[in-house]
Amino acid sequence: LILKKYPNGRKIEYEYDNIGHRTKVIDDEKTTSFEYDIFGNISKITFPNSESVQYLYDPLGKLLKLTYPDNSEIYYS
């Protein structure tokens, strides 16, 4: 856990897993969460409003697709 405090009273907390992946950012009690696949690629980001963006990779770790909360998708080649 890393805590950063600012002169205006704002604080941001960063949480990490055992291998150093950032798992949460808590900014003024609003949490953004990060999930990873078995290869260490970010697989999902969940924002404070509970909406999320999902990431899909090929077997070599190349980003193939992003899926947004409205189910729109961006494909990469």
Chain segment 24-60, per-residue pLDDT in tens: 999 988 999 999 999 999 999 999 999 999 999 999 9
Report the share of the chain in percent with pLDDT over 70: 100
For every residue of 12-77, DSSP letters joined together read EEEEE-TTS-EEEEEETTEEEEEEE-TTS-EEEEE-TTS-EEEEEE-TTS-EEEEE-TTS-EEE--
Number of domains in the chain: 1
Mean pLDDT of 7-14: 93
Where in the sequence is the domain holding 13, given as residue range(s)?
2-75
What pTM does this model have? 0.86
